[in-house]
Amino acid sequence: MPQRPLRTAVTLVTAAAASLALSAGPAPAADRPVDPKIVRDLVKAYLASAKYLDEKAAVADGYVPNRCSTDPAGHGSMGYHYFNPARYGSVDPAKPSALLFEDGKDGKRRLAGVEWIVLDSDQNLKTSKDRPSMFGGQKFEGPMPGHYPGMPIHYDLHVWLWKQNPNGLFDRWNPRVKCTAAPAPHTGKAHTGHGGKTAAAHAGSSGTAHKGSTGTAHTAH
């Protein structure tokens, strides 16, 4: 990778790791050095996802596009989720389970972030003893219902490596990400669940609900 993007990656993730250290406890900032493993893991995720700046590369690697996911309350958007079920369960920084794209000014989709998805072991929304974490103890959100028919109850973690999020690197909604609710995916085939049904959409800008694996409607996470 050219030196400039690499320097950008190091600067970005070092700042992110430093912010994690600042929130870790009451000790003075000078006494909380940045954990080098957090930096290495974030750089690894940044460099591994760089190839997906080209949306076609994402589709070729098995990431299936779904509709725009925007917070009905106006807190921002997650963009278009591109799910790769073969990577569900991954906590490898170099192997995200989903990619987050937004609409670019030129009409093309631009990579904004990455996401890891781990299935809930007991498939019970009321328990969370198996909640995973990455990047120095950053906990996943959930458990939550699936986002398309056949997707099980799961935990997920969003990381905004390619589009700065003023709410924080790991916040679910990014107010700077823009996408348009649409009746069909932009590229490739619609996601199908284990039952072979076409994927239901994430909640779009209209604030409509989407259906999980149980077939009951729920709002976007």
Q: Mean pLDDT for each consecutive 10-residue tract of the chain (221 residues)?
A: 51 59 48 79 95 97 95 93 98 98 94 98 97 96 93 97 93 94 47 36 37 35 45
Angle at the Cα of 163 from the Cα atoms of 161 and 168, rounded to 5 degrees: 70
Residue 7 confidence (pLDDT) = 57
CA-to-CA dists, residue 122 to 85, 90, 131, angstroms: 18, 18, 11
Q: Are 155 and 109 in contact (CB under 8 A)?
A: no
Q: What whole-number distance in Å separates Cα of residue 80 and Cα of residue 25?
A: 35
Which amino acid is residue 158, in one-letter code? H
- The end-to-end CA distance of the chain, in Å, is 34
pTM for the full predicted model:
0.75
Residue 201 confidence (pLDDT) = 36
Q: What whole-number distance in Å separates Cα of residue 23 and Cα of residue 20?
A: 5
Residue 124: CB atoms within 10 A of its CB come to: 11
Q: Which of 130, 145, 144, 135 is nearest to 114 (CA)?
A: 135
User: Could you tell me whether strands 210-211 and 217-218 are parallel, antiparallel, or unpaired per DSSP bridges?
Assistant: antiparallel
